[in-house]
Amino acid sequence: MKEPLSASTKIDFWQRLSRNRALLLLLSLLLFLLIWQMLVIVLNLPGFILPSPAEVGRKFLSVLSTGLLWRHFSSTLGEILLGLLIGISAATLLGYALSKSPLAERLLSPFLVGSQSIPMVAVAPLLVIWFGPGLLSKVLICSLTVFFPVLINTLVGLRDVPPELREVMRSLRATPAQTLRYLEIPAAMPVFLGGLRIGASLSVIGAIVGELVASDRGLGFLINVGRGQYDTALVFVAVICLVVLAASLYGLVLLLENKVLSWQTWRKEA
């Protein structure tokens, strides 16, 4: 402790700053807004190319006060939640069934792998043709996007249940339902939640893709409207809402992971 006082307090300040995550997040956001505003001023860009943060803020407040934003936000949120519900349940059920039948898995796996490489953007118009421009096609697109990562991770998670632990369950004469409850679900949970994390972020993309193709409501529709009217600030508002939505969903899964996987005590230290 022979360092000069000034130097040590300096280190202390940076150390404390780097530990305070909330403060850092706020700082990087402010920095981002500052650079954005500077860009608008320095390049002297018109509002329909790049609106300033202040313009976007004003737009946000105005669409918020008229209830327009909430109407579209809630319809996108509804599509996403329904899509997640359907996609996750279908994927989990099919994943469990396939893990019990290696033959079925081998028969289906070319399609599973193949369908994963189809870009959802390309399929979305088809689904809109088949199921109309309403809620149904959006929910289907969303659940399909969620379906595959969750299915694959459910399968992998269940397949990687340690065989020696399966043998323990057999030596304890556990029924298949008990093996599912006491062994398979907790053992597959980390990988399953990994799939859920990917699925949650993709679900937002799925819903928006559907809305961009054809819709009369939702944040994707709002983006289309803003584009048509050169109301770029409106597009920004919609995009920022989407980012917040996707980040919140992701955060929810992270919270779930921390709660369900609390036995992995090393997670807390990381």
Partner 1 sequence: MPSPSEIALQVSNLEVTFIDSDGTLEVLDKLNFSIARNAFVCIVGPSGGGKSTLLRAVAGLIRPNGGKVLFSGVAESKAQTGLVFQKPNLFPWRTLRENISLPLEIDHRPDAEISSLTQEMIHLVGLEGFEKAYPHELSGGMAQRVAIARCLVQDPEILLLDEPFGQLDALTRERMGDELLRIWNERRKTVLMVTHSIPEAIFLADRVLVLTSRPARVIMDLPITLPRPRTDAMRYLPEFTEASRLLHEQLKGSTAPTN
Kindly list the residues in this chain that would bind partner 1 in the complex (CB under 8 A): 162, 164-165, 167-174, 178, 182-183, 186-187, 189, 261, 263-266
Q: How far is the CB of 266 from partner 1 (least distance, A)?
A: 8
CA geometry: angle at 219 spanning 216 and 225, to 5°?
60
DSSP 8-class letter at 93: H
Among 240, 245, 208, smallest CA distance to 224 is for 208
Nearer to partner 1, 3 or 167 (CB): 167
Q: How far is the CB of 263 from partner 1 (least distance, A)?
A: 4
How far apart CA 49 and CA 46 sit, in angstroms, is: 6
Q: How far is the CB of 92 from partner 1 (least distance, A)?
A: 19
User: 64-74 burial, b for 16+ CB within 10 Å, e for fewer?
Assistant: eeeeebeebbe
Nearer to partner 1, 90 or 187 (CB): 187
Q: Are 242 and 226 in contact (CB under 8 A)?
A: no
Q: How far is CA 171 from the centre of its chain?
A: 41
Distances, alpha carbon 129 to alpha carbons 115, 123, 125, 132, 214, in Å:
19, 10, 6, 6, 10
User: 180-194 burial, b for 16+ CB within 10 Å, e for fewer?
Assistant: eeebbeebbbbbbbb
Nearer to partner 1, 58 or 159 (CB): 159
Q: How far is the CB of 258 from partner 1 (least distance, A)?
A: 14
Q: How far is the CB of 185 from partner 1 (least distance, A)?
A: 10
Q: Are 73 and 67 in contact (CB under 8 A)?
A: no
Nearer to partner 1, 121 or 183 (CB): 183
How far apart CA 249 and CA 199 sit, in angstroms, is: 10
Q: Are 221 and 69 in contact (CB under 8 A)?
A: no
Nearer to partner 1, 71 or 106 (CB): 106
Q: How far is the CB of 151 from partner 1 (least distance, A)?
A: 23
| Dihedral sign computed on CA atoms, order 214, 219, 225, 226 | negative
Q: How far is the CB of 156 from partner 1 (least distance, A)?
A: 18
Nearer to partner 1, 137 or 179 (CB): 179
Nearer to partner 1, 132 or 162 (CB): 162
